[in-house]
C-alpha cells in the first residue's frame, strides 16, 4: 500500500465525560439537585466533502471494513488501494482489494472495488435499469448489475442513508480457463452482505 493508505487506528468514537458541579448546602438551604454528567461525542470527519448539498459519505470502505470481513470473503486487506473521487456535485470513497474465490473446485483471482458514494439510489436505478435486477441485501433495496460493456465484472448497488454502497468484482483471467458468464456473479451477494453489515445506517 502506498503513502495514501488509510490508518485503521482512527476508527471509533472519542468520548469525554464531564462531571457536573454540585452546589454546597447549608443547614437552612437544601442542596441543589445534581446535574447528570454530560456526555459529548464527535464522529470522524469524512476524508472528502464535496460542494453540493448532498449528505456527507459516512461509511468509509478504507476504514470501516474490518480485516476479518475481507479475509472471510477471500480478499487480502494488505492489498488495499485507495481510489477516491470527488466532483463538485458528489463524492465517492473507494478502496480496492485483490483476492481469490473458489468456484466449483477452481481457484480464480478477482479484484474487489468497494465504493461509498452520495449519489442517490434512484439515480443508480435510472443509470443501470437496462442491465440490473432488483434484489435485497440485509433488508436494504439493492440492484444486481451485469453491464454488457464490462464482460468480466459484476456489481451490487445497495441503498444507504447517505446514498449508495457499490461492491464491484472484476475477474482477472489467467489465460488457462475463462470463467463462464453464468458464474461471474457467483458469491458476490454474500460478499456484499458481509460488507453492508458494517453500515451504521
pLDDT single digits (tens) 28-44: 444 444 444 444 444 56
Q: Residue 66 and residue 77: Cα distance in Å, rounded?
A: 9
Q: Residue 198 and residue 59: Cα distance in Å, rounded?
A: 9
Query: So what's the pLDDT on residue 171?
Result: 84
**Residue that wins the pLDDT comparison between 122 and 151:** 122
Nearest to 36 by CA among 14, 21, 24: 21
Q: Residue 32 and residue 22: Cα distance in Å, rounded?
A: 7
Does residue 146 lie within any of the structural domains? yes
Question: Same domain for 37 and 111?
Answer: no
Answer yes or no: pTM beyond 0.85. Answer: no
Question: Same domain for 103 and 164?
Answer: yes
Question: Same domain for 89 and 181?
Answer: yes
Q: Residue 185 and residue 191: Cα distance in Å, rounded?
A: 11
Question: Same domain for 143 and 182?
Answer: yes
pLDDT of residue 95 exceeding 70: yes
**Residue that wins the pLDDT comparison between 148 and 199:** 199
Does residue 176 lie within any of the structural domains? yes
Whole domain around residue 20: which residue ranges? Answer: 8-42
For the chain, the average pLDDT equals 77
Does residue 192 lie within any of the structural domains? yes
201 falls in which pLDDT band (50, 70, 90)?
A: confident
Q: How many structural domains compose the chain? A: 2
Phi, psi angles (nearest 5°) of residue 134: -65, 135
Does residue 113 lie within any of the structural domains? yes
**Residue that wins the pLDDT comparison between 117 and 171:** 117
Does residue 47 lie within any of the structural domains? no
Query: So what's the pLDDT on residue 117?
Result: 94
Amino acid at each position: 500500500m502506498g503513502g495514501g493508505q488509510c490508518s485503521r487506528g482512527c476508527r471509533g468514537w472519542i468520548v469525554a465525560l464531564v462531571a457536573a458541579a454540585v452546589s454546597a448546602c447549608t443547614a437552612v438551604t437544601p442542596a441543589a439537585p445534581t446535574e447528570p454528567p454530560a456526555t459529548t461525542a464527535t464522529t470522524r470527519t469524512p476524508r472528502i466533502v464535496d460542494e453540493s448539498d448532498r449528505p456527507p459519505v459516512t461509511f468509509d470502505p478504507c476504514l470501516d471494513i474490518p480485516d476479518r470481513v475481507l479475509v472471510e470473503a477471500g480478499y487480502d486487506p494488505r492489498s488495499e488501494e485507495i481510489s477516491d473521487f470527488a466532483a463538485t456535485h458528489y463524492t465517492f470513497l473507494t478502496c480496492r482489494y485483490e483476492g481469490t474465490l473458489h468456484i466449483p473446485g477452481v481457484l480464480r483471482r478477482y479484484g474487489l472495488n468497494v465504493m461509498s458514494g452520495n449519489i442517490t439510489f434512484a439515480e443508480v436505478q435510472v443509470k443501470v435499469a437496462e442491465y440490473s435486477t432488483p434484489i435485497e441485501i440485509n433488508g436494504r433495496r439493492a440492484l444486481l448489475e451485469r453491464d454488457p460493456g464490462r464482460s468480466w465484472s459484476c456489481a451490487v448497488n445497495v441503498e444507504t442513508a447517505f446514498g449508495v454502497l457499490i461492491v464491484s468484482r472484476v475477474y482477472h483471467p489467467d489465460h488457462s480457463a475463462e470463467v463462464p458468464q453464468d458464474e461471474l456473479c457467483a458469491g458476490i451477494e454474500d460478499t456484499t452482505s458481509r460488507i453492508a453489515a458494517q453500515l451504521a445506517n
